[in-house]
Structure 1
């Protein structure tokens, strides 16, 4: 198997295991077993588990933000685009196997001990915040509204991760709708 395929298989296995069971409860041997990539090859690709966690979060970030943006772009009205963020979150929360926000989970497990993972999490959250800021500005609202929307979305993510179900997204959507009307 070539390097690209081995990397892909390792990341696929890591994502399934880290997201499903938690980063700290999954060892490199479990990733080896699930991926079919030898332990030697796995360590050639990712010399430390921390590097595998970073790569997993980076790849997930690209997909997550891409899926969100594609859904939001289906809506023409700038205010509806903002509300579509919360509709998309509700769909995500309802997906089978949803276990909360991968970045919040990783930060909770490793944020205090891994500056590299903490940086990866902060980069994802910063990009999400900037995206919401841009949606607010495109809707003719102050950029600060993006920060308020960010807090609503993040609160919905945490609540859905703990309680399960899409309801937190619907509740945050209603709060966002009221915020948009007031702004």
Structure 2
């Protein structure tokens, strides 16, 4: 059973997730989050001193959930080369679920406009984690080595980012 503080914390992040993704970080106000989460203002500030603190927690949780789902999808596949393709299938499925609204990380990074080093560090961590995961799959794939593992992983990563930007922009 969750403690009251954790329930409120989760309510805030659930609400922020929905609003940041749907209408954007800059277009989402603290008062809207408080109202839609049905919490007291003091409860929000108990957990998050600033809106940037909430943004960082949102990125951290979204990252954690994203990779849990991605790894589960990829681990359903046994063939090492097919695991790479499973990444694309997973991304497509997530976009269908999110009604082709774009990558939450790209969206918030492009739109938040913050130069807070803590936020930038979290966004960078998501990118590094993605690249390292892809690089591990590439290394295990037994590809023909026309490109190095690093080059092929980077190519796949850029393709995935382009997939989101293209879907998001049109």
TM-score, structure 1 normalization: 0.84
1:96 deviates by: 4.3
Name the residue aligned to 1:66: 68
Pair 77,66 (structure 1): closer, same or farther in 2 beyond 3 Å: same
1:156 correspondence with 2:156: no
Name the residue aligned to 2:97: 95
The 4+ residue runs of structure 1 with deviation greater than 6 A are: none
8 Å Cα contact 1:133-1:146 kept in structure 2: yes
Flag the structure with more relative contact order, 1 or 2, with Cα contacts below 8 A and sequence separation at least 6: 2
Name the residue aligned to 1:19: 21
Give unpaired runs (5+ residues) of structure 2: none
1:143 correspondence with 2:145: no
The CA deviation string for residues 38-74 of structure 1, in whole angstroms up to 9 with x for no partner, is 1111011100000001101110101111111111111
1:9 deviates by: 0.5
TM-score, structure 2 normalization: 0.90
1:98 deviates by: 3.7
More moved, 89-98 vs 61-70: 89-98
Number of matched pairs:
163
